Amino acid sequence: MAQHAIHLTINSEPHELTVQPNRTLLDVLREDLGLTGTNKSCGTGDCGACTVLMDGLSVNSCLTLAVEADGTDVVTVEGLARERQLHPVQEGFVKHNAIQCGFCSPGMIMAGAALLERNPSPTDEEIRRGLEGNLCRCTGYTKIVDAVRWAAERMNDATPVEDAP
Amino acid sequence: MSEFAVIGKNLPKPDAFGKATGAALYIHDVEVKGMLHARIKRSERPHARIVSIDTSKARELPGVKAVITAADFSTVTPFGFHKDHPPLKGDKVRSYADEIAAVAAISEDIAQAACDLIVVEYEDLEPVFTVADAMKEGAPIIHESKGTNHVEDYDFNHGDVDAAFAEADIVLEDEFELTFVNHCCLGPTCMIAEYDLNENLTLWSPTQIPFLLQRDLAECLGIPATKTKIIQPLIGGAFGKGLDMYAFEPVCCMLSMKAGRPVRLLFNREEEFRYTPTRQPVKGRLKTGAKSDGTLLAREMRVLLDIGAYVSWGVLTPVVGMHTNSSLYRVPNVRYHGEAYYSNNPSSGAMRGYGNPQATFMIETHMDMLAERLGIAPDEVRRRNANRPGDETPSGAKYTTCGLPECIDIIARESGINAERERTDGGPIARGIGMASTLNVAGGARIYRSDGCGAIVKVDDFGKVGLVTGATEIGQGTDLILTQIVAEELGVPFEDVRIVPADTDIKPWDVGCHASRTAFIAGNAARMAAGQARDKIVLHAAKMLEARPEEIDIREGNVFVSGQADRSLPIGKVVRAIHFRGGGSIVTTEAFYDPPNEMTDAGHKGNISATYGFGTQAAAVEVDTETGQVTVKKIWAAHDVGRVLSPIGAEGQVEGGISMGMGYALTEQLIVEEGEVKNPTFLDYRIATSLDMPEIETHFVETIDPEGPFGAKGLGEMGSVPTAPAIANAVFDAIGVRIHSLPITPEKILHALKEKNRSES
């Protein structure tokens, strides 16, 4: 099978890769780059476990061919924390017990981060809508919504209600 | 101020940090050097004799390292609860899941291509797809050596059921149908087997039963258990799926034996739906007799189970349904009869609730019907029959603590089920509220000779504490509550306690992660081991501080004389004093906790659990009478969990259970036609999404259990059990029709409304 050279940025680092045309971005992230934080659960775009950011938008990396990612800026869950600080969505997930088995969590966190980029002050309904493409079998989503709401408050520089003295 | 430093606090789940950053390693992320990839050739028929298997073309494909069939392994024997399941099928196939051959290759694609080159010649046999057909005289026999498709009967009798029905003011009798359900773990099934040149077998597995798997695997493969080791990496959900050994596990090991290299077998989502075990489909009939004031007099449940092609531990689920029948509410006369049959359908296994969801759906539908027919409020009929502390039920269950009456009170009050409310939106939307309760074992369940769990605690020279537990973390938060228990018992900060990942070579024995037993059993074991470590430290610290041992306290990692803060030592300093001296010792302790419960007798009577959990839920729904669509607007839950060890952890268990219960109620159904799963995708098998899930209001009734660790009881399964009947009862409250089969689809609602309108007009 023909090989294709692609250039892309992954978690702020430039990468030059040679990939087969049938390989997905998910496979390349997990198998070639060892970025196993992004999980594969369905492989058909139905569950969102493989969600990453591509040029700031959340995408199912299992439905994105690696060649389609040529020239883009990709952020995975491994690239979300900055300067040893968790992203507020990650922090919210840990703090609010939004993680049980955790298999959906990286995708859910990326979807949450993308949502807050587009809509920094979402209502609970908007949070639920923003995460609709990400399935979770463990939590019933309540704690996940709590986590994203908390992250929004933190990012808006307000003291989250429950943390107020 | 709380009497506890750590128990009852909202602390982060220790493994959440790695799971939130992508650092966590699931089995899917494990690479073993030289690892090959496996694919399985499965049956293309539901029921057939195998005439021939031609693997020659597969063996020739470049990159293929091993191709195996049953003929390659003379020492491998059938496994399973009834030892009816050969890992590879050589003579006949009994379902589409049946494994005929397997390939290990340098890539998954090559392994699959090789599987596609395997040619199997079949001689079709008449298939059996329903219990009714399996029972028929002259039915095709699925396991010839058994001579029948009948697998097991389950009978329970207490009191004089017939006399009680004769005496009853009201008798209800209805049929119910519960369907195939898939666990839908987000982490698909995956394992790695390595059979090395020294004939040591290591299996990396998401199992919930590491020690039973060690035994079963060795026995099935004909190798010594002393050369078998199970490693459990992080598990991406289980919900009972990992409670048995399945054929694909020995098959993966056999590939490694043949190839001489480690082999990984990973399921895709379609295989997950098609070839992993299901919750038992059940056809049931329930008869309930009561006095005119709602007091229950008798209950009789009869169920037929389709267990599929092979028998798993799931075959014991009727024993749980039988317990619900005899012990949920006070009912003096009870009878249960169950029959399980083989079929050529997918095999069923264990799933959260384990027979309880099916039985509770039937019983709670009838409780609601009693209330309706007798003109008693739905909470009141339940309150009048609620179990109380001190009850001994017909099955011999002894309720030491029982918060069911309080749960009913809370739910009635908070949901406003009896309040005046808007019944419609003035248009097609009808509104309703329904409720249902649950009973669950919460102090172990002695279905095996031991119901115990071990723990090892080490306090190092710096005061850092390690816990090796026999328990298995599947996402439920074992790591969180065991860390809390050890920190509380020892008097050290939560952050100074670590759960040490361990495999079966070092992990102390545990029967497995089932029956909502881990908080109670593993919690008690961890507390005992931590208590011994504390005793040792206190004894030495007393000498160092020149005080009596009973005067010594430990808090926040400091050992001190009570009431004298200046007479204090860091815990690490005490441990070093114990350690670094002639004839010194280390602070490493171990404990094994086996609860005071008993195996049931031949009549299924006995106090199977050391304590029991209870709960009540209510659901508010809107039913669109034009489309049949049901929307759940809110769920209220109240559960008796003993002491709440972690509020957010306990809420998470209930909330997650409710989402599973909602799926069971409204959308989840594995559509099986002629033995074949027709909807093997998340698009066609719908689990609840963030938009489907309503607001959930959770309350806990803290009956402090005398036997539980710090008073805690088990909780894992309970949240998922009453949700479906609560929703079904809410649907009735909204539109006046009862749907006795799950899921409650728009089609069923529209059909029932049509019938209702016809009979009314």
In three-state secondary structure terms, B447 is coil
Q: Classify burial at B750, counting beta carbons within 10 Å of its beta carbon; exposed 0-12, middle 13-18, buried 19 or more.
A: middle
Question: Which of B475, B654, B691 is nearest residue A132 as measured by Cβ atoms?
Answer: B691
Query: Is A37 within 8 Å of B24 when comparing Cβ atoms?
Result: yes
Å from A97 to nearest chain B CA?
Answer: 6
Q: Left if phi > 0, otherwise alpha if psi is -120 to 50, otherwise beta: which for A55?
A: left
Contact criterion met (CB below 8 Å) for B519 and B644: no
Residue A157: the pLDDT is 80
| CA dist A127 → A49, A119, A131, B652 (Å) | 17, 9, 6, 18
Residue A160: the pLDDT is 65
For B638, list phi and psi in degrees, rounded to 5. Answer: -135, 125
Q: Which residues of B569-588 are buried (b: 16+ CB within 10 A; e: fewer)?
A: bebbbbbbbbeeeeeeeebb
Query: Is B22 within 8 Å of A86 when comparing Cβ atoms?
Result: no
H or E stretch including B175? strand B170-178
For residue B157, list its beta bridge partners.
Answer: B335
Q: Which residues contact B103 (CB under 8 A, 6 or more apart)?
A: B38, B39, B40, B41, B58, B64, B66, B67, B68, B111, B114, B115, B118, B255
Residues from chain A that touch B12, judged by Cβ atoms under 8 A, are 94-95, 97
A126's tokens: 């908007």
* pLDDT tens track for B564-599: 989 999 999 999 999 999 999 999 999 999 999 999
C-alpha span between B37 and B315 (Å, rounded): 32
Quick one: DSSP state of residue A160?
P
Q: What is the largest CA-CA distance in chain B?
A: 95
In three-state secondary structure terms, B365 is helix
> Residue B183's closest chain A neighbor by CA?
A137
> Residue A140's closest chain B neighbor by CA?
B656
Looking at domain B16-24+452-593, its CATH class is alpha beta
* pLDDT tens track for B669-686: 999 999 999 999 999 999
C-alpha span between B477 and A99 (Å, rounded): 9
Q: Which residues of B181-203 are buried (b: 16+ CB within 10 A; e: fewer)?
A: bbbbbbbbbbbbbbbeeeeebbb
Question: Which of B236, B269, B659 is nearest residue A42 as measured by Cβ atoms?
Answer: B269
Asked if residue A14 has a cis previous peptide bond (ω within 30° of 0), the answer is no
C-alpha span between A19 and A16 (Å, rounded): 10
> Residue B185's closest chain A neighbor by CA?
A137
Query: Is A102 within 8 Å of B693 when comparing Cβ atoms?
Result: no
Residues from chain B that touch A135, judged by Cβ atoms under 8 A, are 184, 186, 682, 687, 689
For residue B338, list its beta bridge partners.
Answer: B154, B303
> Residue A144's closest chain B neighbor by CA?
B690
Band of residue A162 on the pLDDT scale cut at 50, 70, 90: low
Query: Is A101 within 8 Å of B688 when comparing Cβ atoms?
Result: no
Question: Which of B16, B659, B681 is nearest residue A44 as measured by Cβ atoms?
Answer: B681
**% of chain B with per-residue pLDDT over 90:** 99
Query: How many A-B residue pairs are in contact by the CB < 8 A criterion?
Result: 182
Å from B718 to nearest chain A CA?
Answer: 14
Residues from chain B that touch A48, judged by Cβ atoms under 8 A, are none
What sign does the CA torsion over B236, B238, B243, B248 have? negative
B165's tokens: 């029905």
Flag whether pLDDT at B696 surpasses 90: yes
Task: Answer yes or no: same fold for B16-24+452-593 and B31-125+184-275.
Answer: no
Lowest average pLDDT, out of A80-84, B484-488, B530-534, B708-712, goes to: A80-84
pTM for this prediction: 0.97
- The residue extents of the domains of chain B are 16-24+452-593, 31-125+184-275, 278-445+600-760
Contact criterion met (CB below 8 Å) for B52 and B118: no
Neighbours of B416 (CB within 10 A): 13
Residue A1: the pLDDT is 75
Å from B189 to nearest chain A CA?
Answer: 10
Contact criterion met (CB below 8 Å) for B461 and B574: no
Query: Is B236 within 8 Å of A143 when comparing Cβ atoms?
Result: no
Å from A25 to nearest chain B CA?
Answer: 16
Query: Is B184 within 8 Å of A97 when comparing Cβ atoms?
Result: no
What sign does the CA torsion over B63, B65, B68, B71 have? positive
C-alpha span between B230 and B209 (Å, rounded): 10
Helices (H), ranges, chain A? 25-27, 88-95, 105-118, 124-130, 142-155
Neighbours of A49 (CB within 10 A): 28
Residue A165: the pLDDT is 44
Q: Tell me the CATH architecture of domain B278-445+600-760.
A: 2-Layer Sandwich (3.30)
Residues from chain A that touch B654, judged by Cβ atoms under 8 A, are 140
Q: Does domain B31-125+184-275 have CATH number 3.40.50.300?
A: no
Residues from chain B that touch A30, judged by Cβ atoms under 8 A, are 29
Å from B9 to nearest chain A CA?
Answer: 12
Q: Which residues contact B137 (CB under 8 A, 6 or more apart)?
A: none
Residues from chain B that touch A132, judged by Cβ atoms under 8 A, are 689-691
Å from B60 to nearest chain A CA?
Answer: 21
Flag whether pLDDT at B309 surpasses 70: yes
Å from A117 to nearest chain B CA?
Answer: 18
> Residue A85's closest chain B neighbor by CA?
B21
- Mutation pick from B10, B17, B21 vs chain A, by most beta carbons of A within 10 Å, is B21
Query: Is A138 within 8 Å of B237 when comparing Cβ atoms?
Result: yes
B172's tokens: 């209800």
C-alpha span between B756 and B733 (Å, rounded): 14
Pairing label, strands B612-624, B429-441:
antiparallel
Å from A82 to nearest chain B CA?
Answer: 11
B535's tokens: 């005793």
Flag whether pLDDT at A164 surpasses 60: no
Band of residue A144 on the pLDDT scale cut at 50, 70, 90: very high
Residue B565: the pLDDT is 84
> Residue A102's closest chain B neighbor by CA?
B19
What sign does the CA torsion over A42, B96, B688, B232 have? negative
Pairing label, strands B564-570, B296-308:
unpaired
* pLDDT tens track for B719-760: 999 999 999 999 999 999 999 999 999 999 999 999 999 998
- Mutation pick from B107, B110, B186 vs chain A, by most beta carbons of A within 10 Å, is B186
C-alpha span between B396 and B38 (Å, rounded): 48
Question: Which of A47, A103, A138 is nearest residue B26 as measured by Cβ atoms?
Answer: A103
Strand-by-strand arrangement of the B465-469 sheet? B497-499, B465-469, B453-459, B587-593
Question: Which of A44, A80, A139 is nearest residue B655 as measured by Cβ atoms?
Answer: A139
* pLDDT tens track for B138-190: 999 999 999 999 999 999 999 999 999 999 999 999 999 999 999 999 999 99
Query: Is A131 within 8 Å of B690 when comparing Cβ atoms?
Result: yes
Query: Is B659 within 8 Å of A140 when comparing Cβ atoms?
Result: yes
Flag whether pLDDT at A59 surpasses 70: yes
| Across B450-455, average pLDDT | 97
Quick one: DSSP state of residue B622?
E
C-alpha span between A116 and A154 (Å, rounded): 11
Query: Is B187 within 8 Å of A39 when comparing Cβ atoms?
Result: yes
Residue B81: the pLDDT is 95
| Across B369-375, average pLDDT | 98
* pLDDT tens track for B94-122: 999 999 999 999 999 999 999 999 999 99
Flag whether pLDDT at B531 surpasses 90: yes
**What's the residue count for chain B?**
761
Contact criterion met (CB below 8 Å) for B639 and B645: no
A97's tokens: 């017990």
Residue A161: the pLDDT is 59
C-alpha span between B13 and B17 (Å, rounded): 8
Which residue from B384, B206, B216 is spatially nearest to B292, judged by alpha carbons?
B384
Domains and CATH numbers, chain A: 4-79 (3.10.20.30), 88-158 (1.10.150.120)
- Mean pLDDT (chain B, rounded): 97
Helix, strand counts (H, E) of chain A: 5, 5
Neighbours of B52 (CB within 10 A): 8
- Mutation pick from A1, A10, A33, A41 vs chain B, by most beta carbons of B within 10 Å, is A41
